[in-house]
Structure formats: C-alpha cells, structure tokens
Amino acid sequence: MLPPQGRIAVGDRVQVPDGRTGRVIRERLVHSNGAWKYLVMLDAGGSVEHFDYELRSLGQARPPEAARE
C-alpha cells in the first residue's frame, strides 16, 4: 500500500507541530488504522515521527538532476 499522492513524500521539507523544520526521511503505514507516519530529520538535529496530517509541507522534494543546476 502506498501513501496518499499529493500529500507528504520522502524528501519533502516540512514543519512539525512545534514549529521546527526538517526533511522527511522515512514513511511507514500503521497497519492497525491505515494511517501514515513520517520520520523527519530536523534541521537543528535529531528526528521526530508524526502522522501526515500533523505535518505542514514547505516544499516538494526536488529531483536529483535539479540539485545539480
């Protein structure tokens, strides 16, 4: 099963509920209720895990070829 399209994706920059920002590095399905959780590597260090509806997207992941421009 794949996460909902157009929502949060691995590589996206996001803001977590307490205002910190970071990049999504992993997604996982919670089988008991069908929700998606995302592991966010914070810009200031450390990581947190939140449900997709708790995260605010700050931008979509850039394809690797765009990073070289």
Task: Look at residue 2 and tell me whether its pLDDT is greater than 80.
Answer: no
Domain containing 37: what range? 13-60
* 1, part of any domain: no
pLDDT, position 63:
54
pLDDT, position 67:
47
pLDDT, position 33:
86
* 32, part of any domain: yes
* 55, part of any domain: yes
pLDDT, position 34:
86
CA nearest neighbour of 1 among 38, 39, 34: 34
* 46, part of any domain: yes
Total number of domains in the chain: 1
4-49 pLDDT per residue, tens: 666 888 999 999 999 999 999 999 999 888 889 999 999 999 999 9
pTM summary value: 0.79
CATH number at residue 19: 2.30.30
* 25, part of any domain: yes
* 31, part of any domain: yes
